[in-house]
Amino acid sequence: MYYGKKRFITIVAAISFAISGISLVSTAQVRSILDNGALWVGDSFIQCKDGKPVLNNPYLYIADGYGVRLHRITNIDDSTEIAFLNRSPGQSGRLLNLGNLIIWAGHRIFIAERNNNNIIKRFEGDFEGFGNQFDDLISVTSDSLILSIDGILEIVDPENPEVILSSNGIGYNSIIVGDRIFSIKTILDENYDRTYQFRVYDISDLESIAFIDSMDIEYQTNHDVSPKRVGNTLAFQHVYGALFVFLDDELNIADTLQWSSPNWVNGLQVIQDSLFLALRMSSSRYEPYTGMVCEIFNPSRYPDNTHIATFELPGSERLTTYDRGDFCTADDSLLYYFGKLWNLSDFNNPELIFETPRLAPPSAFISHISFKDSKLLMKRSGFLVLVDLSSNDEPVIIAQEEGDGHGRSLIGDMEESLIVFTPGDSGTIYSISEDSVMQYEYTINWDSYVNNIRLKRVDETYYIATTSRNGLGIFRLHTNRATLIDTIETIDWPGGIGWTDQGLFFANDNTLWWSDIIDDEITVIDTVHFNAGSSKHILINRDWVAYGPNLWSIEENELVQEHTFGLNNFNRNPRAIALYRDRIALHNGTQDGSQHNIVVLDLSRGVYTDTLALILDGQVSYMHGDFIWSWSDHALMKFYITGDYVHSVDAITPVTLAEDFYLASPYPNPFNPSVTVPFFIPSPSDVTINVYNITGQLVTTIFNGRISAGQHNVSWSGNNLSGARVSSGIYFVRLTTPAFANTKRMTILK
């Protein structure tokens, strides 16, 4: 098995073991090896779901909404269990399996290796000139070729996959056999009517695809399903059946056979190494669901009848979710489908050996989140939830809505014990009771559609600012009602709005107003114009105002345009999503293949290109100190900004670090009560990690021993060699190996 030396900095906690009372954490989960200048601390509110699985008995991989989960099938006292082992967080897509390697893709491609009960990423990225269709991986061959609709990758070295052929002519339903590609191509005429061709291509020189032959076929396409192979027989699933293609020894087409199903086909797999299994519904998709049926084919019987068995899957009538894609998987005599596992060694007696509603941890659909100070307001399965992010540990739910919920919420705001949100046609006021329950108070109706809303306390009075097609409206809140006190009409529908102690800011696509509420009237302080900008949020602190790609400094009664962040690689303007002191976070699509990336910049030197961190897959974000929380499509991610960004030409090119030892900055820093020290070792080595005080005296030894190659964390709780707590102040952590030594500074606070 190949293990190269190239590594990327991403320090992640997964599996810990005690060494002399010190916790040493080895890498198992890696959110993204392309993150730069930020350490992934962990995830919360993960949306798990059973997605497309791959069974490699006894291991089961499941692509869920936030990466890939690893499970293991075990037999204990004649009872079968499927245990969750580990996950590889990040993007998600169709899974391909080759030995211990698992390959999947979203906006970029991932290659990971199962090492015992862990999934360790070996590669993550994209390829110049290879398009951006990694979510359309099709199949993998035993000689390490990955077929995509954009071409062919070779993964002999999983840490250095190579593009050996680029082409956009490959169909979704394709498979490599020897030096040929067999593919089903959809043909659209001038009226967009579809016909289908079975095509054969020659790839013997691996320089270009040579078309060999084609024939028209009856087919109903299904892009979600990879073709399957048993010997020289290929099987292509379609909506109501399958096409079997028989090849001779020279890989020429000897014959084809169409199998028509009476009902919808949900999957096609190879079972017992030599048989095809087609999984279909027992009833029409327009009739009440009654269960699943297996059809078994033995291609070795050709030209005699290859169909050898039909049987119902016991327990499948209890399935609550079914679809027509690659949601079933088989290996040996086992079939897995949406939380159920069957033993099909005897077709006359199929046995359901494991059943659970879901293998994933419990989760709920999260949407429409808003950050303010250290609070997060979000919708979870249609209910409002208020979360406190101020702890260094897990986020804490401090209040939540009870009752029916409001699933249509668009945006919200919070201030002390009041919450306001808009479901699209009004503003709704909630209070937080002493027992942490959000209680509905009343609704504000102003216009047929409320676009944005903000809540602010001024002295002892609460106000709401809301925007709609009428412009900006200011309401004063009372115990059981709200009073409209002033409005401003704008030419264009305003969108962005922000309200802090610096004032009330609102904007449309080309104008920003800075105002204040004086004697219950909107008083405009300054108005500025700009060329590009669109966002729900205007970000404000003592020195800066950010809206869309625009940045202003706050002077005395004047906004001064400082910078407009330029177009990114998707020809879109970046958008400011978080602002903390002299740091700004931009939502920015980049060349790595992710359309939801965060670039954190330092504004203190007035350069506007001083990059601190690049974080992949983030969207709405909140920064405080050296930490940043960001919402991906399926989880709330937390990062520590290390200040160790490895500079490249610009902030949108992921950087691979040198193949060498590395000591990252401790975090959090300053700290109390404990600190984490990340480091990287390129090969097994003797390692000593000591802590010294400011006079150079040894305080304690965190770790002393031999350690395996990879990324690791050690933690220090602030105790000396005697176990006593050290005083506050500056300390130094030093990593020493026979080939490397480095020191980082850290500060303890009381």
Residue range 482-514, pLDDT digits in tens: 999 998 887 666 678 899 999 999 988 788 999
> Do the beta carbons of residue 359 and residue 61 sit within 8 Å?
no
pLDDT at 15 exceeding the cut of 70: no
Q: Which residue has the higher pLDDT, 59 or 83?
A: 59
Quote the CA–CA distance of 411 and 391 in Å, as a whole number.
24
Alpha-carbon distance 557 to 590, whole Å? 37
Count of beta carbons in the 10 Å neighbourhood of residue 11? 25
Query: Is pLDDT at 113 greater than 80 in this prediction?
Result: yes
pLDDT for residue 577 is more than 50: yes
> What's residue 448's pLDDT?
61
Which CATH number applies to 672-748: 2.60.40.4070, 3.10.520.10, 2.40.160.210, 2.40.50.140?
2.60.40.4070
Confidence of residue 130 (pLDDT cuts 50, 70, 90): low
* Alpha-carbon dihedral sign for residues 365, 370, 375, 377: negative
How far apart (Å, rounded) are the C-alpha atoms in residues 336 and 320?
A: 15
Chain region(s) in the chain for CATH 2.130.10.10: 410-564
Give the residue among 278, 274, 285, 246 at the shortest CA–CA distance from 260.
278
The 10s digit of each residue's pLDDT in 541-550 is 999 999 988 9
| Helix, strand, coil percent values for the chain (each to nearest 5) | 0, 55, 45
- Predicted local distance difference test score (pLDDT) of residue 49: 66
State the pLDDT at residue 653. 35
pLDDT score of 445: 79
In DSSP terms, 476 is beta-bridged to 463, 483
Range from 136-150, 263-277, 497-511, 584-598 that averages highest in pLDDT: 263-277
Nearest by Cα to 338 from 645, 55, 19: 55
Mean per-residue pLDDT, 314-334: 76
Q: Residue 601 pLDDT > 50, yes or no?
A: yes
- Give the three-class secondary structure for 460: coil
What mean pLDDT is predicted for residues 158-170? 79
CA-nearest of 480, 485, 468, 392 to 439 is 480
Closest CA to 198 of 167, 242, 161, 230: 242
Residues 6+ away with beta carbon under 8 Å from 198: 182, 183, 184, 185, 214, 215, 216, 217, 243, 245, 256
More confident residue, 547 or 595: 547
Mean pLDDT for the stretch of residues 686-709: 88
Whole-number pLDDT of residue 527: 93
Lookup: tokens for 707: 């350690």
Give 25's pLDDT tier (boundaries 50, 70, 90).
very low
Residue of 479 and 295 predicted with greater confidence: 295
d(CA 220, CA 238): 5
What pairing do the DSSP bridges indicate for beta strands 328-331 and 334-337?
antiparallel
Check if the beta carbon of residue 10 is closer than 8 Å to that of residue 680.
no
pTM of the complete model: 0.77
pLDDT for res 348:
96
CATH fold for domain 410-564: Methylamine Dehydrogenase; Chain H (2.130.10)
Q: Between these two residues, 628 and 85, which has the higher pLDDT value?
A: 628
Flag the least confident range among 104-118, 391-405, 483-497. Answer: 391-405
Q: What is the pLDDT of residue 660?
A: 65
For the ranges 122-126, 342-346, 389-393, 737-741, the one whose mean pLDDT is highest: 342-346
Average pLDDT, the chain: 81
227 close to 182: Cβ distance less than 8 angstroms: yes
Residue 24, pLDDT above cutoff 50: no
Average of per-residue pLDDT across 464-493: 85
Per-residue pLDDT at 382 exceeds 80: no
Q: Mean pLDDT, to the nearest integer, of 644-660?
A: 47
pLDDT at 611: 87
Residue 351 has pLDDT above 50, yes or no: yes
Confidence of residue 594 (pLDDT cuts 50, 70, 90): low
Measured CA to CA, the distance from residue 672 to residue 670 in angstroms comes to 7
Q: d(Cα 337, Cα 79) in Å, to the nearest integer? A: 18
pLDDT above 70 (res 174): yes
CA distance 633 to 312: 37
Q: Is residue 385 within 8 Å of residue 395, measured between CB atoms?
A: no
Give the pLDDT mean for 117-131: 74
Every domain of the chain with CATH number 2.60.40.4070 lies at 672-748
Half-sphere exposure in the Cβ direction for 601 (13 Å, CA): 25
Taking the CB of residue 674, how many other CB atoms lie within 10 A of it?
Answer: 14
In this model, does residue 535 exceed pLDDT 50?
yes
Q: What is the pLDDT of residue 245?
A: 95
Phi-psi region of 701 (alpha: psi -120 to 50; beta: other; left: phi over 0): beta
pLDDT value at residue 546: 94
Which of 318-332, 436-450, 634-648, 702-716 has the weakest average pLDDT? 318-332
* Interval 212-219 mean pLDDT: 86
Question: What are the residues facing 612 on neighbouring strands?
Answer: none
Report which of residues 327 and 722 the model is more confident about: 722
**Helix, strand or coil, per DSSP, at residue 316:** helix
